[in-house]
Amino acid sequence: MPFSTVNPEVDESRLEGESAEDLVRRLAEAKARSVATHQPHAMVIGSDQVAVLGDRILGKPGNKERAVAQLTACAGRRVQFLTGLCVADVASDRVQVDIVPYSVTFRSLSPAQILAYVEREEPYNSAGSFRSEGLGIALFERMSGEDPTALVGLPLIRLVAMLQAAGRDILLQAD
């Protein structure tokens, strides 16, 4: 299906007392609605993701020191990634919003391994300080969930189902 990408104008700050689930649901929908205001006949997809370690939300680290600290905290532990997904059919004003979870268990990692990874991948704009589609896969001992693409940030299995529910069957879509 032909598509274009648009950077939504949304403040991604967490609201006071907001749960991780509520945060990704709200931001995915806000991103879709932000873009939808400028696309009157489009099907708009919005997405947002957070990493959760225990009861702590791990945001994008932004720099080397915070990335090392995040990965050090994650080493040997299970981290849950929550991806909020929104499909907004602007023409019908129908909005679908869902959360797709995916978990990873990190290997026990030495400080040297963590530093080497951060310096090679520079995952400063990635929730949890890694990119599974690159060298980040070497950080994991185990992965679990229904949709592995959720870990990258856009759960394609759920997206296909949501598009189909909105009347857009990608298998029947003409080029």
**Among 11, 48, 98, 175, the one annotated catalytic:** 48
C-alpha distance from residue 24 to each of 86, 127, 153, 167 (Å): 10, 12, 11, 25
Nearest to 66 by CA among 121, 124, 119: 124
Token readout for 110 is 């030495």
| 48 given a catalytic annotation | yes
**Rounded to whole angstroms, how far apart are CA atoms 6 and 4?**
7
Nearest to 101 by CA among 86, 114, 85, 115: 85
State residue 48 phi and psi, 5-degree precision.
-150, 150
Token readout for 26 is 């709200």
CB distance 67 to 124 below 8 Å? yes
Active site residues: 48
